[in-house]
Structure formats: C-alpha cells, structure tokens
Amino acid sequence: MSKEKNINHIADLRIDYKQLQLTEADTASDPMTQFGHWFQQAMQAHIPEANAMSLSTVGSNGRPSSRIVLIKHFDQRGVTWFTNYDSRKGLDLAQTPYAALLFHWVELERQVRIEGRVERVSKADSDAYFASRPLGSRIGAIASDQSQPIESRTLLEQHYAQAEQQYGEHPPRPSHWGGYRLIPDAVEFWQGRPSRLHDRILYSLDAEGAWQRQRLQP
C-alpha cells in the first residue's frame, strides 16, 4: 500500500523556490565569466559533485542520448571533459559535432544550460590530463572498451589485471581516449523563483560573434 501511495503522490512533489533571484544587472557581459561566478558559488556551497553535468548528444539515427560526465576545465573558449572517443557519446560526436550540457545545482535552485559545437582538445592537453589522473583510472581507461558489451564483470576485471601487469605504474594514454571542448553559442542561466516565475537569462551569439543577453519567460 505504501508503495502505491508514493506513486500516486508523485504529482504532488514540489518545492517553491525562494532563495535567490537573477536580474540582468547581476550578470556578467559574457556567459563564461558568469558561469565562473556561479560555479565558484556552487563550490563554496559544498554541493556534492558540483562539477557533474549532463551531456546530451545525437546519434546517426537522430535520437538524443544523455549521460552524466565531469567538467575538467572551462575558460573563454568553452567547457572541457575527457572520455573514450570510441564510446557511444564519442561516436555520436564524430557524426554530429554538437552537444548540450546541463548543470543542476539543486541546493542553490539553479540550472545552467550550455549548447554549441564540440571539438577535440589537443593531444598535448589530453596527455597532460591523463598523466594527472589516479593510476587506477588510467589503467581502467586502457582496460575498458567503453560502451561495448562484455560477458561478465569477471572478464572486465581480468582485462584490468592484464593492463595493470603490462603497464605497471606508467600506463600510456590510449589513442582512443582524450578530451572534448564544447564551444558555446548559447548559454542559459536559470534561477528558481516563487510561484514558478523563474528567472531565465539567455546569452546567444549574434552574426558578428558578440554575446547578446535577453530574459526568457519561465
């Protein structure tokens, strides 16, 4: 009965957002500076995995796919993460080099949506980040054919053990693993407000490559 009751009450789950507001005067002239302000506030609020973002790509069949990845760098050029180039998301990006990112910092009642073209970072940047990863993560990147089927967990662990034995403490970055950078052309900052009258400020690039800001209705 309690399980059935919980299901029936999903429609009644809601929070009236009241913490903060977002006005045009609060925002920086460019979105990545504004993103830096909000990301720093998320870190200062000790939000668990504030660096987690949803990455959405589109496959050759035209269907979208989303997963959580971790941001590893951002600057005026865009947002960077690292993964297996032969994974589903890597194959999607090879086919359609555009993606959407979503950060949801629920404790601050905030979302950030970032859309744009995606490119691979340089081999030097991928090498540098790979070398900074924990040893186990580096070996795992070699051992796992990400997104490919495997018969069992035992077989995956055998692959890991083989890679560990072969490369020891100095595993090289595999050629199929590296970084991507999303170069934004649209960034939206969303701040929850009472009565679902949320604040939404959208940055978009104009024909001259300059950022324009506008308020969107919730």
Enumerate the active-site residues. Answer: 196
Local structure of 116: helix, strand or coil: strand
Amino acid letter, residue 176? H
- Count the helices and strands in the chain (H runs, E runs): 6, 9
Contact (Cβ atoms closer than 8 angstroms) between residue 112 and residue 22: no
Phi first, then psi: give them for residue 212, nearest 5 degrees: -115, 140
Beta strands in 143-218 (DSSP E): 177-191, 199-205, 211-216
Amino acid identity for residue 139 in this structure: I
Residue ranges of the annotated binding site for substrate are: 14-17, 72, 129, 133, 137, 196-198
